[in-house]
Amino acid sequence: MRDRPLRVAMLGPISWRTPPRHYGPWELIVSNLTEQLVTLGVDVTLFASLDSRSRARLRGVAASGYSENHALDRWAWTGLHISELFECAKEFDIIHNHFDFLPLTYSRLVSTPLLTTIHGISSDSILPVYHKYRELPYVSISLASRHAKLNYVRNIYHGIDPQAYSFSDRPDNYLLFLGRICAEKGVYEAIELARRVGRPLRIAGIIQDPVYFREKVEPSLDGERVRFLGPVGGKCKQDLLSGAFASVHLCDCEEAFGLSIVESLACGTPVIATRRGAVPEILDDRCGLVVGSLDEAESQFNNVAGIVRRTCRQMVEERFTSTRMAKEYLDVYYELVDSGTSRTEASTHD
């Protein structure tokens, strides 16, 4: 198998373009992984929205992401997108699924191995699908995100290209919240921390819960001390991250990973985060504050000034690069493909 490039079908989500223009963490990771695999000489076909950009071969059916084009019915185009890949599954050595649970239901209809990265289990209501296909190989994105009854073959942390993020050791004085605007992400807590420590706050992200935004966020917006910038991408996102004194990540949920934490660190910006889910796996006191509550974040806040921003950047360069991520996934691909070949040969000789 290793005498020719491995043929990988990368099944990405189609909520947003790959890579995303602003929000779209799953799409961003799929893009980072795909581009690095191409650099490593892997023959990758990316299944994504047709407006996506990649050095890999691009295939798909949806002209754009359904979250960016509301004329597209989410479930209709989801079905068409997944079936587009599985109807040509025999063209590939392995399928890498980043599209949650639905592609699992196709797995017994094809002979091509299916590897699934579980970016997060959104609800217990989808667990019956994972349980039915629990023998399939899964990759976790943190140890904290693992479900006890699934067959995890590896834990692979997300990776980014540090060179795509602008480092700064001369920050402004504002705090930054970057993420979805909803209760579990702790936007109100970020506002309250900024008020208590006397710092301006910039809020950037998509409004996932309009009622929460209206009731808990909007009353504090004054255009000066607390500003809402909406979803950001490109240079605007880079400038916000690198210019912040610290990023605030006081989530009230079990984070599966925390991509915005790594992006912040890549810019040299320390992170103040709640000790939930994967946070202790990716953040320590060299690069931020891992706290148990808003009160603890307030009491420990002055320690942020002692954090060396270059150390934050080095943490990402050592542990969270897309190159490292791609090499780890490539090892898993070969293990699964070689294992499948061995089983096929054994059954032929029986």
In a domain, 294, yes or no: yes
Crossing angle of helices 25-39/322-349, nearest 10°? 70
Q: Are residues 235 and 264 in the same domain?
A: yes
DSSP-derived 3-state class of residue 96: strand
Instruction: Give the mean pLDDT of the chain.
Output: 94
pLDDT category of residue 348 using cuts at 50, 70 and 90 = very low
pLDDT above 90 covers what percent of the chain? Answer: 92
Q: Are residues 139 and 20 in the same domain?
A: yes
Average pLDDT over residues 258-262: 96
Q: Are residues 167 and 307 in the same domain?
A: yes
Count of structural domains within the chain: 2
Q: Are residues 226 and 313 in the same domain?
A: yes
pLDDT digits (tens, 9 = 90+) for 217-226: 999 999 899 9
The tokens for 14 are: 């189609």
Q: Are residues 289 and 326 in the same domain?
A: no
Q: How far apart are CA 261 and CA 160, in angstroms?
A: 11
- Residues paired with residue 230 on neighbouring β-strands, in sequence order: 204
Closest CA to 189 of 298, 294, 80, 72: 294
DSSP for 171-209, please give it: --S-EEEES-BSGGGTHHHHHHHHHHHT--EEEES-BS-
In a domain, 119, yes or no: yes
Q: Are residues 135 and 202 in the same domain?
A: no
| Domain encompassing residue 132 | 7-159+321-349
The domain spanning residue 225 has which CATH number? 3.40.50.2000
Q: What end-to-end distance do the CA atoms of the chain give, in Å?
A: 22
Q: Are residues 252 and 326 in the same domain?
A: no
Q: Are residues 168 and 288 in the same domain?
A: yes
pLDDT digits (tens, 9 = 90+) for 63-98: 999 999 999 999 999 999 999 999 999 999 999 999
Supply φ then ψ for residue 30, to 5 degrees. Answer: -60, -40
Q: Are residues 88 and 200 in the same domain?
A: no
Q: Are residues 315 and 188 in the same domain?
A: yes
In a domain, 1, yes or no: no
In a domain, 2, yes or no: no
In a domain, 230, yes or no: yes
Q: Are residues 39 and 131 in the same domain?
A: yes
Contact 183, 252 (CB under 8 A): yes
34-40 CB contacts, 8 Å cutoff, 24+ apart: 34/10, 35/322, 36/159, 36/322, 36/323, 36/325, 36/326, 37/8, 37/10, 37/326, 37/329, 37/330, 39/323, 39/326, 40/326, 40/327, 40/330
Q: What is the pLDDT of residue 4?
A: 80
DSSP-derived 3-state class of residue 59: strand
pLDDT above 70 covers what percent of the chain? Answer: 97
Q: Are residues 186 and 207 in the same domain?
A: yes
pLDDT at residue 327 tops 70: yes
- pTM beyond 0.85: the answer is yes
pLDDT at residue 143 tops 50: yes
The tokens for 122 are: 């959104």
Q: How far apart are CA 286 and CA 301, in angstroms?
A: 14
Closest CA to 93 of 339, 346, 270, 345: 339
